[in-house]
């Protein structure tokens, strides 16, 4: 099943598949989960696409781990 990363309803359970794309839809989801300070950077994008099975909940948790709240 291919996900339309541009328009699909994304949840923490959405599987990050081989077709994953950093779209505005993903950015909106991540900002909603992580807050207005969320940003993609190259290292984080490489981690997302590292061929290890994960879902968007794992992606959110990893971003929060890398950017702890004060």
pTM above 0.75, yes or no: yes
Residue 70 has pLDDT above 90, yes or no: no
Which pairs count as long-range contacts for 10-19, CB under 8 Å and 24+ apart, including other chains?
A: 10/56, 11/56, 12/55, 12/56, 12/57, 12/60, 13/55, 13/56, 13/57, 14/55, 14/56, 15/53, 15/54, 15/55, 16/48, 16/49, 16/54, 16/55, 16/56, 16/58, 16/59
User: Mean pLDDT across the stretch 47-67?
Assistant: 97
Average pLDDT, the chain: 95
């Amino acid at each position: 099943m291919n996900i339309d990363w541009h328009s699909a309803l994304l949840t923490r359970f959405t599987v990050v598949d081989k077709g994953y794309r950093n779209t505005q839809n993903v950015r909106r989801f991540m900002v909603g989960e992580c807050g207005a300070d969320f940003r993609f950077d190259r290292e984080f994008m490489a981690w997302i696409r590292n061929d290890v099975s994960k879902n968007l909940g794992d992606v959110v948790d990893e971003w929060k781990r890398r950017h702890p709240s004060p």
